[in-house]
Amino acid sequence: MTTDQGQAPDQAQDQNREQDRDLGRRIRQRFIGRPGSVNTKLRARRFHLLLERFPNLADMEVIDLGGSVRTWTRAPARPAHVHLLNIDPPVDEPPDWITVQLGDACDLPANLAGRSFDLVFSNSVIEHVGGHEMRRRFADSVHRLSDRHWVQAPYQYFPLEPHWLFPMFQFLPVPVQTAVAARWPLSWGVRPRTRAEALPKVLEIELMTRTLMRYYFPGSEHLSERLFGLRKSLIAVRD
């Protein structure tokens, strides 16, 4: 009897957490992921801008650093071939015009070190690679693989942090970030249960500034994607 009474609060707490996660997933889907979401509309708009800059995309062999199969299967147009390089295996089955390779864009696999592609594409990856040295190596890979590139990254000073969907999250002290991440129902990915689980996820993300993008891509044209009149993300493009 005592054991049952002791377990009941824990079970109720777990049930409440699961309800919070379900609510968080539904709210996130309105902003990110599902067709018609804010993020999906922004990506579609960004892709049309890509097509304006690279009108012959249909004839190109593209390497996508850190991307997903879904990025291209849901795109309004597709290249002749996409070589997808990511450290994680794909969630979706790739069609025959997409080649998937497991590997690190900051340390190119041997089979890619000497190759050249028509275009390097990267969407919201450089902020995840881990510090200045890894960002520099990522940019070196971009420059090595093609003379043309399209590299997008979220802007640090947009008020809503795009991974956590929490206002000004990126400017909070790390202990406060971990506390928020462990409790906030809209937390990025699989919501961490504890601050210890949240800490590596918090430390993984370093949003980009215009100064950093110009440093890593000095020969590029630098574009800004805006939402509600505010700069939301940065794009380094060389065509």
pTM exceeding 0.75 = yes
Calculated CA dihedral for residues 217, 220, 222, 225, nearest 10 degrees:
-90
Q: Are 64 and 71 in contact (CB under 8 A)?
A: yes
Query: What three-state secondary structure class fits 220?
Result: coil
Q: First CA to last CA across the chain, in angstroms?
A: 72
Query: What's the CATH number for 32-155+209-238?
Result: 3.40.50.150
In tens, the pLDDT along 100-109 reads: 999 999 999 9
Of 172 and 4, the one with more pLDDT? 172
Token pair, residue 27, equals 């709210």
Q: What is the mean pLDDT of residues 80-87?
A: 97
CB atoms within 10 A of CB 172: 17
Calculated CA dihedral for residues 224, 214, 121, 117, nearest 10 degrees:
140
Token pair, residue 133, equals 């040295």
Residue 160 scores a pLDDT above 80: yes
Listed in sequence order, the residues at least 6 apart from 190 whose beta carbon sits closer than 8 Å to its beta carbon are: none
Helices within the chain (DSSP H only): 2-31, 38-53, 69-73, 110-113, 131-145, 174-183, 195-204, 210-216
Domain ranges for the chain? 32-155+209-238
Residue 12 scores a pLDDT above 70: no
Q: Is 149 left (phi over 0), alpha (psi -120 to 50) or beta?
A: beta
Q: How confident is the model at residue 4 (pLDDT cuts 50, 70, 90)?
A: very low
**Which residue has 């902003």 as its token pair?**
31
Mean pLDDT of the chain: 88
Residue 84 scores a pLDDT above 70: yes
